[in-house]
């Protein structure tokens, strides 16, 4: 592992070099882009053991988590991009959608690369969250600077030392460093910035981007709630919620943050959570090779302080080995809606359980807070599914499981409001880095249809353009008024 941060005086040189490369047209041919994508896939395949070792050294993740979420997913999706690039990048001819007198203009939408983009990568899932936007930028025909997290130094150093052996270094560069380096990088104009992380840092990035009117994709997190109603399969609900809470010690943006469970089944749910954790970790999570670690000592101390405020409400877990950055999965019962655990994103292995009187109360609580990245719901009642879907706002909603929605290749990933904006994943990653350019070719022979626009304006030319106003407006009725009318009739 190297500890060499990118020299700050080299950052403007890198930026200028990437701009020159993009202007040269190197990245435009689809054949070149496809080759870069296949080179990225070769990098993953050739170095899978080294990548797993680097990620484990940084985060203490079990091998299966690394393979399942980082390596295999990155590899598969990179190959899909290489397969689909021609289809995604096709011009969209809209001749059949325009008015008859416009059909001869060859109207079409061309998706073109935005230019030189900046990708800022977090530490918690450094591989998938660096390579997913990168394959999008490659597919789009952009040049990219990849700023890797200083909190995953083994992975960052391995990528910096080895990825350039596979990709074109004129088009794709890596920057290492901390606050001074990213601060300098953000001084420059980028054609798109893709950031994955937290809202506090995202605000600073948004301010820097605003100086250049740079578009952003912000993939953030927040407190993703879980609703469990009385009709749910309580055992499977507990098992699937903890299956989403325990990977990477809960340090996942889509990790279930807290559970709002109907009071009638709250005690049973807590008891089952205790049983499930024993099934997951018979010898205790801290002794299990299937359980990871907290990324930094500072984060451990934060989580320790948070746990100390639970005042004896821990029903499972709670043990720590701070010297190993290890904290057990911890279920905390009898949590109030105004408890300190409910204030900010936990981003750790704690699961507060809040008893509520009804699903309606759960919905009200969720709606009183910032929009979540995901709302999870466990129920067997179709009306409850509809109610939660129609009366909450979130980037995703997943019913009767947690986190598995991320495995669907065709679905976009992203938040809304405080949980971020923009989408990623395969074609959605590509679409971040292109813009829709409208192309029309107006033949000289079309002058007959255009002659009325020229001065001097006449009554005849005004009449010509007023023809559109001859269209009638269809009848309609306000549904709310109709419901009120029906209610009044029913009351007599």
Q: What is the pLDDT along the chain (492 residues), one digit of tens a residue?
A: 556 899 999 999 999 999 999 999 999 999 999 999 999 999 999 999 999 999 999 999 999 999 998 999 999 999 999 999 999 999 999 999 998 888 999 999 999 999 999 999 998 889 999 999 999 999 999 999 999 999 999 999 999 999 999 999 999 999 999 999 999 999 999 999 999 999 999 999 999 999 999 999 999 988 999 999 999 999 999 999 999 999 999 999 999 999 999 999 999 999 999 999 999 999 999 999 999 999 888 889 999 998 888 877 899 999 999 889 899 999 999 998 888 889 889 999 999 999 999 999 999 999 999 999 999 999 999 999 999 999 999 999 999 999 999 889 889 999 999 999 999 999 999 999 999 999 999 999 888 888 889 999 999 999 988 988 998 999 988 888 767 766 666 665
How far, in Å, CA of 419 to CA of 193, rounded?
A: 16
How far, in Å, CA of 296 to CA of 39, rounded?
A: 33
Catalytic residue among 89, 253, 398, 403: 253
Count helices and strands in the chain by DSSP H and E runs: 18, 18
Q: What is the pLDDT of residue 1?
A: 53
Cis preceding linkage at 224, omega within 30: no
Q: What is the pLDDT of residue 307?
A: 87
Are 266 and 404 part of one and the same domain?
A: yes
Q: What angle do CA 219, 221, 222 make, to 5 degrees?
A: 150
Q: What is the pLDDT of residue 93?
A: 94
316, part of any domain: yes
How far, in Å, CA of 423 to CA of 110, rounded?
A: 20
Are 81 and 228 part of one and the same domain?
A: no
How far, in Å, CA of 141 to CA of 452, rounded?
A: 42
Contact residues for 299 (Cβ-Cβ < 8 A; gap 6+): 251, 347, 348
Helix (H) or strand (E) holding 236: helix 234-245
247, part of any domain: yes
Catalytic residue among 65, 70, 181, 219: 219
Are 284 and 391 part of one and the same domain?
A: yes
CATH number at residue 78: 3.40.605.10
How far, in Å, CA of 209 to CA of 224, rounded?
A: 27
Are 187 and 241 part of one and the same domain?
A: no
Quote the domain boundaries for residue 148.
Answer: 8-220+426-436
Are 32 and 132 part of one and the same domain?
A: yes
Q: What is the pLDDT of residue 311?
A: 74
How far, in Å, CA of 104 to CA of 80, rounded?
A: 36
28, part of any domain: yes
Burial class (CB in 10 A: 0-12, 13-18, 19+), 159: buried
How far, in Å, CA of 51 to CA of 156, rounded?
A: 10
Are 156 and 229 part of one and the same domain?
A: no
Are 342 and 432 part of one and the same domain?
A: no
Tokens standing for 134?
A: 């990168």
Are 206 and 71 part of one and the same domain?
A: yes
What are residue 96's DSSP bridge partners?
none
Tokens standing for 49?
A: 């053991």
Whether 395 contacts 382, CB under 8 Å: no
Tokens standing for 147?
A: 């700023």
Q: What is the pLDDT of residue 272?
A: 97
Return the closest-CA partner of residue 377 out of 261, 245, 276: 261
Are 139 and 271 part of one and the same domain?
A: no
Whether 134 contacts 119, CB under 8 Å: yes
* Active site annotation includes 431: no
CATH number at residue 375: 3.40.309.10
How far, in Å, CA of 325 to CA of 249, rounded?
A: 10
Q: What is the pLDDT of residue 482?
A: 67
* Active site annotation includes 460: no
What are residue 117's DSSP bridge partners?
144, 192
Domain count across the chain: 2
Boundary (domain end) residue, out of 380, 414, 448: 414
SS3 422: coil
Tokens standing for 436?
A: 């829709």
Are 198 and 299 part of one and the same domain?
A: no
SS3 153: helix
Whether 326 contacts 313, CB under 8 Å: no
Are 233 and 249 part of one and the same domain?
A: yes
Are 183 and 323 part of one and the same domain?
A: no
pTM of this structure: 0.92
299, part of any domain: yes
Helix (H) or strand (E) holding 377: strand 372-378
Return the closest-CA partner of residue 389 out of 363, 419, 355, 358: 363
């Amino acid at each position: 592992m190297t500890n060499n941060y990118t020299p700050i005086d080299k950052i403007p040189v890198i930026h200028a070099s990437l701009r020159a490369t993009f202007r040269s047209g190197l990245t435009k041919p689809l054949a070149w882009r496809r080759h870069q994508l296949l080179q990225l896939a070769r990098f993953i395949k050739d170095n899978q053991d080294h990548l797993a070792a680097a990620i484990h050294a940084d985060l203490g993740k079990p091998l299966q988590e690394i393979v399942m979420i980082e390596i295999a997913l990155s590899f598969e999706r990179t190959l899909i991009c290489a397969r689909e690039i021609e289809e995604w990048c096709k011009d969209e001819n809209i001749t059949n959608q325009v008015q008859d007198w416009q059909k001869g203009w060859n109207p079409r939408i061309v998706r073109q690369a935005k230019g030189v983009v900046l990708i800022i990568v977090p530490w918690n899932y450094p591989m998938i969250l660096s390579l997913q936007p990168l394959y999008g930028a490659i597919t789009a025909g952009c040049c990219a600077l990849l700023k890797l997290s200083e909190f995953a130094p083994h992975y960052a150093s391995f990528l910096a030392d080895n990825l350039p052996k596979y990709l074109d270094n004129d088009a794709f560069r890596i920057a290492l460093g901390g606050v001074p380096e990213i601060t300098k990088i953000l001084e420059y104009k980028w054609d798109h910035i893709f950031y994955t992380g937290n809202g506090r840092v995202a605000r600073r990035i948004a301010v820097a981007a605003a100086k250049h009117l740079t578009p952003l994709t912000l993939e953030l997190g927040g407190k993703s709630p879980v609703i469990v109603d009385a009709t749910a399969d309580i055992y499977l609900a507990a098992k699937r919620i903890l299956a989403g809470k325990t990977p990477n010690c809960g340090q996942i943006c889509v990790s279930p943050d807290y559970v709002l469970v109907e009071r009638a089944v709250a005690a049973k749910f807590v008891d089952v959570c205790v049983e499930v954790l024993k099934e997951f970790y018979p010898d205790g999570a801290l002794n299990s090779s299937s359980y990871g670690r907290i990324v930094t000592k500072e984060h451990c101390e934060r989580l320790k302080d948070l746990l100390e405020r639970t005042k004896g409400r821990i029903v499972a877990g709670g043990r720590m080995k701070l010297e190993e950055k290890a904290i057990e999965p911890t279920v905390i019962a009898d949590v109030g809606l105004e408890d300190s655990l409910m204030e900010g994103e936990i981003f750790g292995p704690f699961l507060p359980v809040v008893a509520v009187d009804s699903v309606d109360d759960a919905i009200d609580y969720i709606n009183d807070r910032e929009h979540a990245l995901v709302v999870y719901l466990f129920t067997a009642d179709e009306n409850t599914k509809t109610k939660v879907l129609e009366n909450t706002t979130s980037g995703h909603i997943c019913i009767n499981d947690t986190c598995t929605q991320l495995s669907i290749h065709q679905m976009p990933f992203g938040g809304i409001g405080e949980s971020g904006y923009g989408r990623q994943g395969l074609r959605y990653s590509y679409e971040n880095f292109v813009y829709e350019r409208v192309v029309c070719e107006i033949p000289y022979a079309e002058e007959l249809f255009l002659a009325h626009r020229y001065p001097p304006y006449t009554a005849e030319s005004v009449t010509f353009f007023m023809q559109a106003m001859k269209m009638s407006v269809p009848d309609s009725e306000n549904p709310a008024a109709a419901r009120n009318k029906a209610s009044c009739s029913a009351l007599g």
